[in-house]
Amino acid sequence: MNSSTPDVSINRPRFPHLAEEVKTHVPTAQAAFYLNRMSQTLRVWACYQNGPIRPVLVHGRLAWPVAEIRRLLQ
């Protein structure tokens, strides 16, 4: 690799494949990754309650249901 070419894989989050996810809910960044959206888009959905998926609050943080993410992507 050329030294002038940045390695973008360094900044890319590493999440398990959606089919391998065992948790029932995931945080906003992970849900956004699966849905190919920006995290802020999901936060807007939560704020205005107008998105295709509704999160739940867990200790003041948004948690997105994996089953609904899978359903949406089918």
What number of CA atoms fall less than 13 Å from residue 67's CA on the CB side?
1
- What is residue 19's three-state secondary structure? helix
* Span 40-54, pLDDT tens digits: 999 999 999 999 999
- pLDDT (tens digit, 9 = 90+) per residue, 8-60? 556 667 899 999 999 999 999 999 999 999 999 999 999 999 999 999 999 99
Cβ count within 10 A of residue 25: 19
